[in-house]
Amino acid sequence: MSLFSWPVRIYWEDTDAGGVVYHANYVRFMERARTEWLRAQGIDQLALRETTGLGFVVRDMTLEFLRPARLDDELLVTLAVKERRSASMLFGQEIVRGDTTLLRATVRAACVNLDSMRPAQIPPDLFRPEFP
């Protein structure tokens, strides 16, 4: 299982009055990493919607906040596919600063028909052959 990573720097807009990253922003950082992972797989989400009507939405998420990130930190958001089902994928994600893990998460993303918001099978040819 390969690990994908995406760099993030913390700016004023990411922090609260104390200079600590606001908790909801971690979710945004992880979303960006999943989007960039899809791009690295050759998947254009806009084209996917236009050609198939499909897209991925978060079905559930568990977050474990371990340590805070602060203004000007350089972080790495990682992603590993833990499980793939016919209509969903389970990701393990972490946000790290150097050797320190700040957050651990599991995220299940469901493939849905974006018009009806009903579950849909992930197209079998969507991912490259090397993807499990």
Which residue's entry shows tokens 């990130």?
69
Tokens of 86: 């016919």
Given the residues 16, 44, 60, 72, the one annotated as active site: 16
Instruction: Supply the DSSP string of 63-119, one letter for each residue.
Output: EEE-S--BTT-EEEEEEEEEEE-SSEEEEEEEEEETTEEEEEEEEEEEEEETTTTEE
16 is catalytic: yes
Phi, psi of 2 (to 5 degrees): -90, 155
Tokens of 70: 């602060």
- Residues with a catalytic annotation lie at 16
